[in-house]
Chain A
Amino acid sequence: MRVVVTGMGIVCSIASTVPSFTRALRAGRCGIGPVPDPGDGGPRLAALVKGFRFKDAVAARHRLPEETRRGALRAASRSPEPLQMDLVAAMQAFEQAGLHEAKADPERMGLVVAGHNLSSGYAHDLHPKYEDNPAHLPARFALHFMDTDRVGTLSQVFGIRGEGYTVGGASASGNVGIINAGRLVESGAVDVCLVVGAMTDLSPMEKRGLATLGAVAGVEEPNKARCRPFDEDHEGFVPGQGAGCVVLESARSAAARGATALAELCGYDLKLDANSLPDPREEGEAKVMVNAMANAGVGARDIDYVNAHATATPSGDLAELAALRRALGDSFGRPWVNSTKGLVGHCMCAAGVVEAIATVVQMRHGFVHPNLNLRHPINDDCRLAPGRLRDADIRYALSNSFGFGGFNTCIVLGRER
């Protein structure tokens, strides 16, 4: 059964909608900037969402029925902002998929929220109140601290009554979500499935922990640091705020509803690496790329573009390019390769969904976005996108996501004819 993408939505540091994301990718806009020194040795750079106002973002979805907008405000006005961003991204995707007009059977609609440990920053912020008097914790805390609050709230707003849950795979969570949703559709469990790459609200303690592992850029000298995927001077990732949503749907359901297929989820693979560490490994990464292409029924020479995981950690970038060479063989230098993280930072659990959206956007609009801050490439054989916009005819693309603890994932997206 063919699975297609019929809707997309995004809120991130460089865009508040998919059309503005498209313009930002074209322009190579960077959402990364300095943040106040937390004073604990944690990250001093971040790609933050600026100027988000939930009420306005809901009002902007004026094509959705007033009942849906009112339901969103009622359900989430006092929710933590990260959930509100997830909801707004999902409202955009729901609208683009036309699910408010040509409706799907509520029991045939699913919801997969990709991510875990999503609300640590929220819990951190409430801790002083708890210390002061535990009885004054907001009653909603018991709901809001759970990752599954995102599932519950979004399902209420959209009236989703089919299968739903959260899935986790560290930084690969977004792709884990897309793969799970793809399987729900393929298996016939649902006709339509929303996949939400959930905004990950890290606490200062968690950010400091990541810095301890040496994975974060700009801890020492934020003014000189950049996010530099594939550059010899890469020094780590920059945390990014982002929420994304894609609607996956069986081609039959899309046709029956008259929804436009934006792209096809042609294949995928997800494999553990039997490895609890943050260490990326070439062999396991290559394996999922090879298996995903086989699952899609395409060969290495069919791949025109690779949206790399490429967080800009030295070991990660090197392992991924070595894996790509192994997976593509003689075609290694053929597809364009770029890293969206250079623009939006590392959106953590949402990254896979944000990057799947970036892939579909580039595919549909015929370009590859620049690789930012790439002065001295770590590999001369790979066709790394330059620092400026390039036109590109993309029929098939890979989008990689890898996570601490050996989560290796690759999805194959294809352009709809």
Chain B
Amino acid sequence: MHRNLGTEILGVMQKRTVVKFLLIFTLVFNASNLFAKESEKEGDGDLKTTIKEFINHHLQDSHDFTLFSDEEAKTHFGFPLPVILWDGGLKVFSSSKFHHGETVAEVNGEYYKLYHGKIYKTDAQGTINYDEDHHATNAKPLDFSITKNVVSMLLISLLMFFMFKSLAKSYKKNNSIPTGVGRFLEPLVLFIRDDIAIPNIGEKKYKKYMSFLLTIFFFIWFLNLLGMTPLGVNVTGNIAVTFALALIVFLITNLTANKNYWGHIFWMPGVPTFMKVVLAPIELLGVFIKPFSLMIRLYANMTAGHVVLMSIIGMIFLFKNWIGGPLSFGLAFALSILELLVAALQAYIFTMLSALYFGMANEEAHH
């Protein structure tokens, strides 16, 4: 080891810090190198792919409620859910018949197979035919199954119903003063009324939208929070769910809109006739884009949150050393706290924008 002038100039303390820094850097660097070598050895069935598949699987809805599973031993812990199919008649059976996609379920002489979270109609052997893009071409029966997400929604709905019913009851019993959990819920209800509904819709008309705004806020918020639990549900990060919610907002906005709103869309007042013609299609497009943005925003935020959080948790298993592990854990912890904030924020934004759209639909003419 050769010494140069630079190292001599460095004080003892400085030397120590530099050494420490180098040590950490090398360890982290080596760890990733180590992993790289390992993955090369393992080939296709490596940890990275497993984690990726796990995350993908988590993001999707499933036909059974799996709490955790051991992929190698092929054992799953959880409970099956009812499958309801419409295929020339209603067919109801337990999802345990699929054995997590390993076997073909036979119902009244028809055969069904669970493949990548979707149910396909197959022959007795469970053959799946593919097209050139590796997409299954088998017939898909209409699937009305009570899936994991449906169960979660029902659970949250029940919880909300009992929570708010008890709040309503506590007013009657207690001389209009909430008790217990109501003390926490009442300020939120008031927040939605005073800071979302009234400023956006207006003092006169906010009342008829209050039920919707309150329901959607707590529904999204509680489902977002449920997504943070280790139960591993991802309801609000599902496009069908956000589409349904956005569709309801779209319908309410346009069905309760007044003349002034439609006037502003099809024949914008106060601009030259030529501009009126140009603006009409743009405004009409806006009618659809508004709820569409609601749908994408909620879906993307929740999905992204889940992906990032799970990826960072997955990194613990990738690093497999005493620095990367705690580091990933700390990061995951910080991100979880951030996600808790996002859960409330997205519910707030969805409610806020819905109220804004309702307010636009109810705006009185002002000239």
Whether both chains belong to one complex is answered with no
